[in-house]
Amino acid sequence: MAEARTQTIVVTGASSGIGKATARLFASKGWNVAATMRNPAAESDLVESAALKRIALDVQEPDGPRAAVAAALEAFGRIDVWLNNAGYGAFGPVEAGTRRQIERQFDVNVFGLIACVQAVAPHFRANRAGTLINVTSVGGLMTVPSYALYNASKFAVEGLSEGLWYELGALGIRVKVIEPGAIATNFGGRSLDALDYSAMPDYAPFMEKVKAARKRITENSSPPELVAETIYRAATDPSDRMRYLAGPDARRFVPLRRLLGAQAQMRLMRRVFRI
């Protein structure tokens, strides 16, 4: 019997949080891992080996995704799973967002993700196989106060993923979506951009309540390793299932929204945030 081929995953945003946890988990499972990040030279936790390569990728760079695909293929010869995990979040009132912040929100979370899909799709099509996994959020299914721009970008990826499920599925390529709830990562420090509403004092009482609720919620966040396990489960699931919730809060709130309806759930969210 022929020896089973080692599978390869490409992880975007692998320098921290969910991406790093995923790179570590797949490496521990015997996979080849192409761990992409904006600055591989600054990474010290993910040590390169024959089965793990650090690759430069800034999804906002026009040629970045295609170069990352080429580097992963040079290292491992084939890509079996591509994980779109790199993300950015704008936090605060929409009115306070600058054009640059709003554009970055969609450049990273939507347009950069699309560029990655376009870069890896030819390889998947040639093989008539492959799995594309997009990390969205519970915030792609329901909104969270003061995250309107971030939610809008994740809603977009949810819709995009459904369309890709049809298009790529017809070619033997699986499309999966991971929907985490609150996760204990440093997303809030390095990838979250607080919008400056200081010139709009009307928002101050609202934002103080939101920040207090956010603090309460993040204290009970799930670890990124939980999301990594969900990603592994999706990557190894041969079915055409698309969505995978990650975290107890995700499994609680999303069914509740479906049960109550959007408007009732939004009123409930008002009570949770005390706004």
Residues annotated catalytic, as ranges: 150
Angle separating helix axes 262-273 and 204-218, nearest 10 degrees: 90
Q: What is the CA radius of gyration of the chain?
A: 19
Site of tokens 């890709």: 164
Token pair for 54: 């650090």
CA angle, corner 249, sides to 86 and 143, nearest 5? 65
For residues 175 and 37, give the distance between their C-alpha atoms in angstroms, rounded to a whole number: 22
Interior/surface letters 146-165, b for 16+ CB within 10 angstroms, e for the rest: bbbbbbbbbbbbbebbeebb
- Residue 12, burial from CB neighbour count under 10 angstroms (0-12, 13-18, 19+): buried
**In whole angstroms, what separates CA 258 from the centre of its chain?**
22
Contact present, 228 and 25 (Cβ < 8 Å): yes
